[in-house]
Amino acid sequence: MLVKWIRCTVVDRRRFERGQRKWAGLLGEPGFRGQGGGWSRGRPDVAHVFAFWESRALYDSFMARSHDRLAAGQAGAYRDMQVKLFDHRFDVKTGFEPKFTDADVVRVAHSKVREDRSEHYATMQEKVWNPAMAGSPGMIRGLFGEAPENEFLVMSMWLSEAEHGKYRRERIERLLLRTQTEADVAVLSGDVVRLEPSWTV
């Protein structure tokens, strides 16, 4: 599965949200699996959108045919758009599905990992972070994705901001030490995204 993560700064909120609803046109596109998103909790003018496709080939076909028509409704409503594509490598918890209706927030962590540490980083994600997150009350589902140049995405969906906050307070520091994350990661960025139900396709 291909994971597309879009982040941008919105300058015309009403136009952006109106355009966001037009992405319902994705339904029926060959290979489309689901899309959702919302607003950054820390920076209210930043929007995140997550889209899922069965394969890169089907996604490329959509980009060549229908994308520009659907995107036209949001022209001029945002700036500084960043788009990243990741291959799904494994689930966090089990049975990841690209659905957003049962979650309140998404936590996204984007890492640029040192070249000689990428296998260690992925192993720690699978063997340490994964079980810790999966065992946290309120964590619904998630995934670990990989892109070329040692870039990784960890995306987790939570029942509520409060549940995610509890996990952060109780676990993060201890896990960072145990997994030697500082030695692995050259650059780390992330956000907590409050989901907008009307953006779900």
What are the chain's domains? 2-196 (3.30.70.100)
pLDDT on residue 135: 85
What is the mean pLDDT of the segment spanning 127-147? Answer: 91
pTM as predicted = 0.93
Please, how many CA atoms are within 13 Å of residue 194, restricted to the half-sphere of its CB? 10
Q: What is the pLDDT of residues 78-88, one digit of tens each?
A: 999 999 999 99
pLDDT on residue 133: 86
DSSP 23: G
What is the mean pLDDT of the segment spanning 121-144? Answer: 90
pLDDT on residue 177: 76
Residue 45 pLDDT grade (very low, low, confident, very high; cuts 50, 70, 90): very high
With a cut of 90, say whether residue 93 has pLDDT above it.
Answer: no
What is the mean pLDDT of the segment spanning 37-59? Answer: 97
| Residues forming a β-bridge with 151 | 112, 147
pLDDT on residue 162: 86
With a cut of 90, say whether residue 98 has pLDDT above it.
Answer: yes
With a cut of 90, say whether residue 52 has pLDDT above it.
Answer: yes
- Please state the φ and ψ torsions of residue 14, each to the nearest 5 degrees: -65, -45
- Please state the φ and ψ torsions of residue 85, each to the nearest 5 degrees: -115, 135
